[in-house]
Amino acid sequence: MPSQGEEEDEEEEGSLLRPLKLIALLCASLALALDAAALGSPAWVTSQEDSLALWQTCRRHQDGGAWQCHSALQTDWQIATLVLILTAATITLLSFFMSLISFCLGTYKRYYRVIAVLLFAAVVLQVCALILYPIKFIDSNQLRSYHEFSWGYGLGWGSVIFMLGAAILYCLRIDVYEEAYH
């Protein structure tokens, strides 16, 4: 007959293989990748002659020649958007490493709630940035021609979806419900 300590070890090993936490780790890594791509994207807003990103604004000359670029960090709202997204990406990176390390060491249950809270905080920051950007962009009336929010902005929203998915998966406690069946 196994002792109490051996049963706990077996339970811990069995729950180590739970796919939901692996999926959460994968979601956090995808959120990080999408955030990095959104931060580095040259196109958050595009028009026929302009391309705006978080870091720079580019304009094509009238004759269809070369692009001329300059820093986009000229207004408070552009700096605030960048800081919010960088902070969200940093929090996501921290939670990803916490998750990866705790999962590899087997102390995973202890940190799931902390990781989930961090990811929820990153979601809130990134959503604030992604709502602030179009409101202030339209309010500032930078482009007076037809423009559309491009793939870089969409990658930011994709990152939010994966962050939120990871946070929700880290909140799930499947082991509590399975104990009643054993």
**How do 45-47 and 50-52 pair as beta strands?**
antiparallel
Q: Is residue 159 part of a domain?
A: yes
Confidence (pTM): 0.79
Mean pLDDT by 10 residues, the chain (182 residues): 50 54 91 94 81 80 72 85 94 93 75 91 96 85 71 94 94 61 44
Q: For residue 173, what pLDDT is reported?
A: 72
Give the integer Cα–Cα distance in Å for 68 and 70: 7
Q: Is residue 6 part of a domain?
A: no
Q: Is residue 178 part of a domain?
A: no
Torsion of CA 166, 93, 136, 75, to 10 degrees: 180
Torsion of CA 32, 33, 36, 38, to 10 degrees: -110
Q: For residue 67, what pLDDT is reported?
A: 74
**Residue 76 CB partners (closer than 8 Å, separation 6+):** none
Give the integer Cα–Cα distance in Å for 1 and 4: 10
> Domain span at residue 130?
19-42+75-171
As given in the structure block, the two tokens for residue 106 are 């087997």
Q: Is residue 149 part of a domain?
A: yes
Q: For residue 155, what pLDDT is reported?
A: 94
Q: Is residue 70 part of a domain?
A: no
As given in the structure block, the two tokens for residue 41 are 């994207």
Residues in the chain: 182
Give the integer Cα–Cα distance in Å for 47 and 148: 7
Q: Is residue 55 part of a domain?
A: no
Number of domains in the chain: 1
Give the integer Cα–Cα distance in Å for 81 and 89: 12
Q: Is residue 81 part of a domain?
A: yes
Q: For residue 86, what pLDDT is reported?
A: 95
Q: Is residue 125 part of a domain?
A: yes
Q: For residue 32, what pLDDT is reported?
A: 95
